[in-house]
Structure 1
Amino acid sequence: MRHILVFAKTPYTKTPYDQWLAGTGIVPVVLTPREYAQGYGHLPYVHAFDAYDTNQLVEKTALRLAREFDVEAVFARAEADIVRAARLRESLGLKGQHTASALAFRDKVVMKDHLVRGSVEIPAYRQVESAYTILDFVAEHGYPVVIKPVSESGSLGAAIVRDEADLDAYLASPWRGTSEIEVFVPGQMYHVDGLVAGGEVVFVHPFRYLHDCLSFRDDDWVANLPLTRSDPLYDRLVEAARAVLAELPTPPATAFHAEFWITPDDRLVFCEIASRTGGGMISGMVRHAFGIDLDKEWLYAECGLPATIGAPVYRPAGALCIPPRHGLLERLPSAADGQPECVREEMLTGAVGQVFHGGVKSGLFLAGYVVDGDTEDDVAAHLEQVAVWFSDNSRWRPVLSGGGAA
């Protein structure tokens, strides 16, 4: 029997590793957060952890299990696991992404250091060593600037500093650890998602955001919509993604999620790239739009199994993520409330009776949907329709400062 070690920071319904590997002779050995353990409970080898992201017993257990089962590969699809998985592969001498590559795709400063002399424009940037770094950067480049952690995902911790008052408020807040500062880039944001297998890009497609990655801060939804091949930005975005992958130490098997701006004066500017599938409902959208399960195909590539990707047949589809509001969730919409017929996939991450404090990051959501339509315009309209339906059929109660409901 062959084994693969899986860092599974996703619910089983999203990543059914045993189903994907059925018939291959490979058995997954799973490490997962405590809250997801029940979903994986039917698997023979599951180890659950509290405080999964920072619990160093995860690494200790992973090393022990990898040796015990003589695993032939290590798989990790979540941002928090990319570096820990790379270090484990390196320690064991396994193929796949090693530490230098993982850091280049996770640390935004290391990433831009690789790309600064490449063909794709990147914004002026600097690693923040202290408040003096910020003051020097603002003096050189002016406002606005963006300050963000070097290794978070989903715009977590990102701050847009537009003037002196914003700067004073930022500097007065608690120190956030290692950060970078860069000039603010205006414009529309796009993302390019795809898959590398056998060292080659075997799937790549650009998408546009409806709203943007920071919409969650206003408790507003964000959506994703594929670009058509006739869109004038299609080739530019695909070529930019390929150029970035060529400049970075890209592993031979990985999914990727890259983000770019198109500025008002039509410049294409790099934002960031991750060696993983996109967050939110992006994987579901790709599955419905192209018939390709990026997570499954990435797992196969990591295991050295032949790809199951056929010729993609495009069907218009989009993804919608709705963040929680501030308050006690009293009611969630259901199909009985006249759910729009365009919905093809739904994922709810919360439950009635929970207290929420608004959006945390762009990839985390209360409700996620994949919708379809006959055309891209149909899909865009359906995304709006589902967002309105959800708002109209959910109910919230304010929460008092002491924690009780009003």
Structure 2
Amino acid sequence: MRYVLVFAKTPHAKTPYDRWLAGSGIEPIILTTTEFAAGYAHLPHVHAFDDYDTNQLVEKTALGLARAHAVEAVFARAEADVVRAAQLRDLLDLPGQRTPSALAFRDKVVMKDHLAGGAVEIPAYRLLDSAYTAVEFIAEHGYPVVIKPVSESGSLGANIIRDETELNAYLARPWRGTSQIETFVPGQMYHVDGLVVNGEVVFVHPFRYLNDCLSFRADAWMGSLPLAPQDPAYDRLVKAAKTVLAELPTPAHTAFHAELWITPDDRVVFCEVASRTGGGMVSAVVRHAFGIDLDKEWLYAECGLPATLGTPAYQPAGGMWIPPTTGVLEHLPSGGEPDCVREVSLSGKAGQEFHGGVKSGLYLAGYVVAGDTEDEVAVNMDKVLAWFSEHVRWRPAESAGGTL
């Protein structure tokens, strides 16, 4: 038996590694969160951890298991696992993304250092090592600016600073960790998702964000729609994403999720890129719209298995993800969705207390919505939101007798 070690920060229903590898002669060794352990419990090698993102027993256990089973590959699809997986490959001289590449896709300052002066425009930026740096940067570039952690995902910890009052408020309670400051870029944000196999981009497609990446802070939904190939932005965004990948130390096999703006004066400006599949319902939309499971194909590439991509046949579909509000969830609608819904992903339970949205990729309810055209998909998303709003029920947290 051959083995692949999998950092599995996703539920089994989303990433059924054993089913994907069935008949291949490769068995997954799973390291996952306590929350998701039950879904993998039928497998022979499952190890679950509390505080998964920061628990360093994850690394210690991974090293011991990798050595004991002579694993041939390491797979990690979550942002929290990108560097720890790369460091393990370094230590054991295994194929796949190594630490310099992982840092270039994880640390936003290292990332922009690679891209500075290249073919794709990037905002002015600096490592925010002190309040002095913030004051000097703003004196040079003016307001607004964006301050965000260098290595978080889903817009966690990101702040748009529009004036001195907002700067003072941020500096009084800064992010606990390393941050960067950059000039604010106005415009429509897009994401470009795809797959690299053997150093070649074998799938790529741009998407338009609906709402924005900070919508969750107002408990507002967000989502995205694939661009039609005839859309004027399509080729420009694909070209920019491929250029970014060429200028970074991109691993031979990886999924990628890039974010770019098109500004009101029609410039394509880079935001960031990750060596993983997108959050929210992005992967599910790709599966429904193009018939491609990016996570499965990426796993196959890492394990040296033949691809099953085929020729994508496009069907319009979009993804929407709805964050929780503040209160205790009394009823989360399940079943009876509008006919346009193709997939549902629910992450909450009745009786659970929430305190609003946490980050853009996390949600209470996610939906893949179909239609005959992109415009119809957008209309159908509004229908789904109206249906959800009518059927979900909340009560104030005070009536629950405390936090659950």
Fold shared per TM-score above 0.5? yes
Query: When the two structures are superposed, what TM-score results if normalisation uses the length of structure 2?
Result: 0.98
Measure the CA separation in 2 of the matches of 1:131 and 1:390: 43
Gaps of 5+ in 2: none
Query: Aligned to 1:292, what secondary structure does the other structure show?
Result: coil
Mapping 1:312-323, distance limit 5 Å: 312-323=312-323
Deviation of 1:401 (Å) = 10
- 1:7-406 paired onto structure 2 within 5 Å: 7-335=7-335, 338-400=336-398, 404=402
Residues 402, 169 of structure 1: alpha-carbon distance in 2 compared, 3 angstrom cutoff: farther
Name the SS for the 1:232 alignment partner. Answer: coil
Question: What is the CA–CA distance in structure 2 between the aligned matches of 1:177 and 1:195, rounded to whole Å?
Answer: 31
Letter in 2 for 1:122: I
Cα deviation 1:302-327 (Å, max 9, x = unaligned):
11111100010000000010000000
Report the alpha carbon displacement of residue 402 of structure 1 after superposing the two structures with TM. 9.9
Q: TM-score, normalised by structure 1?
A: 0.98
2:368 partner amino acid: V
* 2:139 match: secondary structure: helix
Q: How many pairs were matched up? A: 403
Q: Please list every run of 5 or more consecutive structure 1 residues that lacks an aligned counterpart in the other structure.
A: none
User: How big is each residue's C-alpha offset from its partner over 1:13-49, in whole Å with a ceiling of 9 and x where there is no partner?
Assistant: 0000000001111000000011110000000100011
Identity %: 74
What is the CA distance between 1:400 and its match in structure 2?
Answer: 3.1
Going from structure 1 to structure 2, the CA distance change for 1:402 and 1:182 (only over 3 Å counts) comes to farther
- Letter of the structure 2 residue corresponding to residue 84 of structure 1: R
Separation in structure 2 between the aligned mates of residue 377 and residue 197 of structure 1, nearest angstrom:
32
Distance change (3 Å), C-alpha of 1:3 and 1:127: same
Query: How many angstroms does 1:403 deviate by?
Result: 5.8
Structure 1 ranges of 4+ moved more than 6 A: none
Secondary structure of residue in 1 paired with 2:195: strand
- Residue 193 of structure 1: SS of its match in structure 2? strand
* 1:403–1:101 Cα change, 3 Å: farther
The offset of 1:54, in angstroms, is 0.7
CA distance in 1, matches of 2:308, 2:333: 36
Distance 1:7 1:66 in 2: 12
Structure 1 pair 241–403 and aligned structure 2 pair: CA distance change class (3 A): farther
The alpha-carbon deviation at position 176 of structure 1 amounts to 2.2
Structure 1's 331 and 36: CA in aligned 2 closer, same or farther, altered over 3 A?
same
Cα gap change, 1:16 to 1:171, in 2 (>3 Å): same
Deviates more, 1:27-36 or 1:392-401: 392-401
